[in-house]
């Protein structure tokens, strides 16, 4: 079964070394999103990128930096995502937050499986 709906995608772009109270910032954002009851969050680690500093961060062996780009992606109803934004204000010192309206196609398990009595050949009469 496919369910169509509109939603808001929140993408937080930060550095892998960004911290919140001696813990990775991306971990804290995911934890708070979970506590807020958002539908889900995914952390993606980039191989290369640069931000406002214009310093390129890369995973290439010869590079001295390990502060790789991190993207945290959250998709949920617009009102739930917007209600979560003030929590990000408290956490993020440097980074970028992107909001995109999206169309969601959610695949859900079908509930039209045959009943046991029909599978075993019983007529139910």
Write out pLDDT tens, residues 69-117: 999 999 999 999 999 999 999 999 999 999 999 999 988 877 665 555 4
- Domain borders along the chain are 2-119
Instruction: State the pLDDT at residue 7.
Output: 95
Cα–Cα distance, 124 to 80 (Å, whole number): 46
Write out the two tokens for 111.
Answer: 């509930």
The CATH code for residues 2-119 is 3.30.70.120
pLDDT tens across 40-62, in order? 999 999 887 776 665 665 655 55
């Amino acid at each position: 079964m496919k369910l169509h709906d509109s939603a808001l995608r929140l993408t937080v772009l930060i550095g892998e070394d960004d911290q919140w109270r001696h813990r990775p910032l991306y971990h804290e954002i995911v934890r708070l999103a979970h506590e807020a009851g958002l539908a889900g969050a995914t952390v993606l680690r980039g191989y290369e990128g640069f931000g406002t500093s214009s310093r390129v961060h890369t995973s290439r062996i010869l590079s001295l930096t390990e502060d790789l780009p991190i993207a945290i992606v959250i998709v949920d109803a617009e009102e739930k995502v917007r209600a979560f934004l003030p929590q990000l204000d408290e956490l993020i010192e440097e980074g970028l937050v992107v909001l995109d309206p999206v169309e969601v196609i959610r695949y859900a398990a079908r509930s039209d499986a045959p009943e046991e009595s029909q599978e075993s050949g019983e007529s139910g009469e």
